[in-house]
Structures are given as structure tokens and as C-alpha cells.
Amino acid sequence: MQTMNFMDSMFFFIESAQTPMHVTPLLVLKPDPEHREGFGVSLYRKLQSKTTVVAPFNWRPRFSLTGKHRWQEVAVDLGYHLRFAAVPAPGRQAQLNELICRIQSQPLDRTRPLWELYVIDGMSDGTVVLYMKLHHALFDGTRINGYARKMLTQSPVHNDWVPIWQHEVYAPQPEAPSSGRLRTSLEALGNTLTQARMLPQAMRLGARVFGGALGMLPKRSKTPLTAPRSVLNTTPARGRSFASQQWSLERVRAIGKLTGASFNDIILTCGDMALQRYLSRNHRLPDKPLVVLMPMNVRQPGDMTSNNQFVPGLVELQPPELLPLPRLKRIQAAATDTKNEIREFSPALYEKYGVLMQAVSMIAGKYGLESKLPASSNLVISTVPGLAEVRYLMGAEVVQVAPMSALPPGQCLNISAYTYNGKVCLGFLGCRKVLPDIGLLANDMDRALDELELAALTQPKTSLFDRYLPHLANKRVSLHSNPEGVILKQRQSTGVR
């Protein structure tokens, strides 16, 4: 039996009937016209025939009162995990979204290995959907991408593909130190601190975090310590709402080239703009800017160990009165601050603090205390760089990927972005009670990209002055009458539908 590491066991601890902690990516397959008839059944039968199941797809969790949770290898009833389903008439996106929301809102069975895979038939456009439900304790976005890379073939004629549960890519994690208890993590933190070289860093970080929490040091704090109360910060009910979007990756890259912003910066900015518009509609925009929890991958390239390896970075979004480009600049700066802070304090140390801070707020959410404690973030935005070129499964082209993650306690919105074959695939997962009209948010996100793109394309070209004397750029900008593009609040709010 494998022991379970702390972060992995946290996913079980915060999991409840309201907040199942699984990741549920979706692949849309388009078979050739001559193979379209019965493709869903054929794919399901083919998968059924692949009965060998390797780790971690044959692992079930074994919980211990001592906190030493473990993974146990068990025999797998493949017919339970592999499921054939269909959307009802008229077989369009709305019916698919309904179905996957129902599947998403149901926790996995902890007495069995923690995955389900659905072949979904009945789409009117002849596509067949492969929908995976994988527990976050074993699978994060980066790891799932690794599995997708192995399972999906680069040519349609490639026929000897193997399903995700047959890939021997798992590298066992070290036996120690690992445990399922907060206390033990604190001990581990203590152990880390006793390593002399980390002590000064830890003291600075501790002073910042706890000083900030007590209302001290507000000026020195670059990354936010608490998030404003918002409609997004209740513990979600059981129902889910979902919407997806696809963008051309080229458009995002062009904006990046014109503005110097990263992919993540652009996603964050579009998310900010979309949420401004979406929340303003019902006057639900909080007074302070929203704070995004953005998991930052700290996995080394090629590392396919199963446990979760990300640092929860917090990025503050911006106030409503900013125009797109200044908003992007500021978010870029905020994200850079977060990254620098992670670097400054060493990933290991920052992760432990970050995990503890998140743990406190998630545990608060679990016990319904989220209204008593300040939230640490308002929503999750995660990005995973995916597969660059077109892929196939059993000869059918993967025409779309929709990332779909989990809603932790106390949070009602998760936006995920995944790049595939020159496209940016966006998935919006929400609590059905709080965000029943999440499709509007997806449209707002699309509109935000249009606006940001237009702003980037029509901005004045960078002058030689900017290029060769960048240290003077700030002074030059200050000569403008409206350096940050602040517009009158009045005008902005009339512009909102």
C-alpha cells in the first residue's frame, strides 16, 4: 500500500456531498462520416475489452484514524467505472451540459478506485463525447494532460491506442514524510523551519501573513491576504451549471505579443472583465476587487508522480473603472508579485503556508463558517498548457476539449483554460443555485477577449523612447492627462447592459 501525502488527503477532508473533489475533463470526438454510425457503441465495446487496469486506476483509499491514510490496490469491476450514456433529444450542447452537470455533482464511491469514464452518445452532430471523472486526490490538470498525451494518437490510422487506465506512468511517491493530518503538516513545516537557511525567509513570510491578517503592514503587502465577501463565496449546493468556450490560441498569442503579457495574465484579465460585467447585471459586484486563486504548477517537466504539486497563488483583480489595457498591465504586475513572492520564499515553504491558509478557509467552508471568516479568494482560475497538435481516439478526431474542475467549499465558480491544437478551451463550472445563467458569463468572457484584442490592436505603437529608455517610461506616461485610462464611473455603468 502507498501512503497518501498531505495535499492529496486534504481533498478528501474538504470533500462533501456538496463539494465533490473530482476533475472532469471532456473530449469531443468527431468520427469520419463512414465510421459515424455506431461509433459510440464501438468505442464503448473497445474500451470494455481493455480489462487490465494499472495503478492508480486500481487504487482505493484506506482511511485511518491515525491520519496515515493509504492507497490500496484492489480488483476492479470495469463495468462499474466504464459507463455508456446518451444525451436525450435534440442532442445539442444544452442537453450535454445538463447531463455532465448531473454526473459532476455526484461524488465518486470511496470504496472503489476513484474514477469513472463515460462514453456519451446521442449528439445530433454525430460527435461522441468521452467524459472522465477523476478524483483530485490522484489527478490534477497537468497529470491528466500527461494521460491524454499518452492515450490520444497523433494519426487517425493509429489503431493500437490504450485507455488511460492501462498507462504505467505512475512513479511511486516516497513513503515518508506523509500524513493526512494538519498537525503532521505543521510538524513538517516545523522540520522545514529548523533547516537554518529557511528560517529568515519563514520569519519574513510569517510576519507578512499574520501581520497582514491582523491589519498591520497594509502598505508592504503586495498580494492580497483576504478577499472581499461576494456572492461567489457560499458553499455550493449540490447542483452544478456549466458552459464552455473555444478561442483561437493565435488571438491570445497576438495580444500577448502586443502587450508583453503572458497567457495567464490575459486569461485573468478577460476573467476579470467578464465577471465585472456579469456581476454588475444583478448589482452583485463587491466593493473591493475580486481575488483569484490560481494554482501554479511546481511539477518538474516529465515528473508524472500522482500527487498534487501546485502552489496556490493569490492574484488580486482590479477595480471596475479601468480600461482593458491598464487592467491587463496591473493584473500582470499583481501576478508577477505573486510569482516573485513564491520565488522569494522558496516554493516548498510558500506551498506549506499557502496550503494551510487555503485549508483554513476550506475547512471553514466545510463547517459552514465561510460567512464568519474572511474568504481567502473568490474564485479559482486555472490554466493547463495542453497538446499542441491535433489528436485522435480510435480514428476519430478530438475536435474539442472542455476542462471542468471542482468547486471547493466556500467557492461557487471555477474557470479552467486548456490549450489544444491551436485553441484555447475554456470551461466554466458553477453552483447551479448561485450561477444558473453561467452561459452568460462564458459569453461575457468572449466579449472581454474581443475588447482586449481591440484595445491591444489599436494601442499606439511602442516608440523608440519606450524601447530604449524604458526606465523613463513612467515619467513619460505621467505627462498624459489620464495615465491609467481611468474613465468616469458614470459612463462605465451606463455602458453596462
Residues that bind a copy of itself (CB under 8 A): 17-18, 38, 40-41, 44, 77, 80, 83-90, 95, 98-99, 102, 106-107, 109-112, 119-122, 237-239, 432-433, 436
Instruction: Please give the grid coordinates belonging to residue 160.
Output: 493500437
Shortest Å, Cβ 42 to a copy of itself: 10
CA 376, CA 227: separation in Å to the nearest integer?
A: 5
Least Å distance, CB 424 to a copy of itself, is: 30
Give the span between the Cα atoms of 369 and 198, in whole angstroms.
33
Least distance from a copy of itself to the Cβ atom of residue 496, Å: 26
Q: Which is nearer to a copy of itself, 211 or 239 (CB)?
A: 239
Reduce the DSSP state of residue 115 to 3 states and report it.
Answer: strand
Is the CB of 228 or the CB of 430 nearer to a copy of itself?
A: 430
Distance CA 355, CA 423 (A): 32
Whichever of 86 and 298 has its CB closer to a copy of itself, that residue is 86
Structural contact between residues 113 and 59, judged by C-beta atoms closer than 8 angstroms: yes
> What is the smallest separation between the CB atom of 66 and a copy of itself, expressed in angstroms?
18
**C-beta of 78 vs 355, nearer to a copy of itself:** 78
For 21, 34, 237, 240, 278, the CA distances from 441, given in Å and listed in that order, are 23, 38, 19, 14, 6
Please choose, from the candidates 228, 280, 246, the residue with its C-alpha nearest in 3D space to the C-alpha of residue 416.
246
Work out how close the CB of 364 gets to a copy of itself at its nearest, in angstroms, rounded to a whole number: 18
Decide whether 108 or 232 has the Cβ nearer to a copy of itself: 108
Angle CA(374)–CA(377)–CA(383) in degrees, nearest 5?
170
CB nearer to a copy of itself: give 112 or 167.
112
Q: Which of 45, 46, 30, 29 is nearest to 159 (CA)?
A: 46
Choose between 7 and 21: whose C-beta lies nearer to a copy of itself.
21
Residue 4: CB minimum distance to a copy of itself, A: 20
> What is the number of other CB atoms lying within 10 angstroms of the CB of residue 395?
19
Which H or E element spans position 2? strand 2-3
**In the complex, least distance from residue 469 CB atom to a copy of itself, rounded to whole angstroms:** 59
DSSP, collapsed to helix, strand or coil, labels residue 45 as helix
Between 105 and 338, name the residue whose CB sits nearer to a copy of itself. 105
Q: Is 464 in a helix, a strand, or coil?
A: helix
Compute the least distance from the CB of residue 124 to a copy of itself, in Å.
12
C-alpha–C-alpha distance, residues 161 and 159, integer Å: 6
